[in-house]
Amino acid sequence: MSDENLAERIGGLVAMSSGNGRLDTLMRLTCGRALALSPLPMEVDLIDGAAEHEPLVCAFTEQFAVDVSGIGDNQRKQLTKALGDKVFRTVVMMFIADFVPRVWAGFEALGLRKAGNGGAVDWDHDSDPTDALLNGFLPAVARLRELDPVTTEVVRLQGAAQHNCRLCKSRRETNALDSGGSEDLYGEIEQYESSEKLTDAHKAALRFVDAMIWTPSQISAETAAGVRKNFSKDQAFELTLDIMRNAANKIMVSLGVDAPLVTDGTELFSVDADGQTVSAG
């Protein structure tokens, strides 16, 4: 899978719609403001035709972008009541509005602008963004294999913890376990700066994860230099997109459907050659 192909897929996601142009614009503006980054391109101007539920969607979007774990039951119930069967597609577009600007900021910080934004948007009102994201883009990212399995898993677990995704925190990837991953190692992630078990490369990746999640408009030169020192350009590209792939857990967390499949211990899974998550037990 080439960088250009995945960059094209990102552009395709940006061109899609929730089915409500005003909400798309509101979500993109809200995410841009919350992240202190330029919002995604917008097709519809906010001139007239405001709906009563728009402030609710904006508030939900802002919390989604700032800290998705802060969304409460009442907030998600109100969103579902307002949007009905369009709620999932809308939240998918909310995720795109939230995370693509982070990816572009990450690419710029790492000197990977060739895989970033630019050019006119060919708006797509026919494709389903849920299918394009969950069945197209995310598996394509998972098929990348430049990073070693342990680094990929360490990065995934940090994203799981930062977004408080109960399902993601309960899972362990078998290829990483076979390659030297362990609970002792993973237990060091929370305090990774002081860890003697995590490598310098792991720590550089985790600093980048934290910056992408919490301060995407302020990715420091030191953080970017750490990534460039420890990873090749292809690995840095994969790392950036892995953070986005993992962050799709925000969709589940925001809607309260991130319950783990196990009540005790951890669930084992693997990522197959097609980029699909497969239960190992």
Last residue of a domain, one of 141, 169, 192: 141
Q: Domain check: are 55 and 91 in the same one?
A: yes
**pLDDT tens by residue, 50-96:** 788 999 999 999 999 999 999 999 999 999 999 999 999 999 999 99
Spell out, as residue ranges, where the chain has pLDDT lower than 70: 1-4, 48, 114-118, 281
Q: Domain check: are 121 and 15 in the same one?
A: yes
CA distance 152 to 150: 5
The token duo for 53 is 């539920």
Environment class of 246 (CB within 10 Å of its CB; exposed 0-12, middle 13-18, buried 19+): buried
Q: Domain check: are 177 and 198 in the same one?
A: yes
Q: Domain check: are 95 and 69 in the same one?
A: yes
pTM for this entry: 0.95
* Per-residue pLDDT, 7: 83
Q: Domain check: are 35 and 12 in the same one?
A: yes
Cα separation values, 184 from 196, 197, 264, Å: 11, 9, 18
CA dihedral 68, 72, 78, 81 (to 10 degrees): 80
Domain range holding 41?
3-141
Last residue of a domain, one of 141, 171, 199: 141
Last residue of a domain, one of 112, 141, 170: 141
* Per-residue pLDDT, 1: 44
Nearest to 250 by CA among 188, 168, 131, 132: 168
* Per-residue pLDDT, 258: 97
* Per-residue pLDDT, 120: 82
Amino acid at position 259, single letter: A
Hey, is 73 helix, strand or coil? helix
The token duo for 175 is 């290829």
